[in-house]
Amino acid sequence: MRDAVFPEALREAVAATGFSPAIRAGDFLFLTGATGGAPDGSMPATSAEQTQVAFAKVQEILNSAQASVAAIAEVTSYHTHLRDDFDEVDAVLRETLGLPLPAWTAVEVAGLRRPGARVEFRIVAHLPQS
């Protein structure tokens, strides 16, 4: 059984794609890959802006699960230009998540599903059930 998390702010995206923004499994929340695409479909030009937009979506999902970014246990980032963009992404994550950062793996890929996307994030959060 899948316990899906559907924040109101992402209702249109869910309807268009059929993706679950997140699935809760026991004490863990697994988020669907987040890119920096804006609600109007546009993609910001820089990896820093894309990271900010992606983590705004992540925060929406976590909020709807009654959690915050402090619950993030693991981040996997997929980059089309890892060496060029890593420092920008790192700076945004440090500002957004604080130190120490969650466990983080950064991977360079040939391409991402969304046109213009330079970075995509896979997030796992730990949300102990009371």
Q: Where are the alpha helices (DSSP H) in 7-123?
A: 11-17, 47-64, 82-97
Query: Could you give phi then psi for residue 44, rounded to 5 degrees?
Result: -55, 155
Burial class (CB in 10 A: 0-12, 13-18, 19+), 47: buried
pTM (predicted TM-score)? 0.93
* Per-residue pLDDT at 33: 95
Q: State the sign of the Cα–Cα–Cα–Cα dihedral 79, 82, 84, 87.
A: positive
* Per-residue pLDDT at 108: 98
CA angle in degrees (0–180, nearest 5) for 32-35-38:
120
* pLDDT level of residue 1 (50, 70, 90 thresholds): low
What domains does the chain contain, in order, with CATH numbers? 3-126 (3.30.1330.40)
What does the mean pLDDT of the chain come to?
A: 94
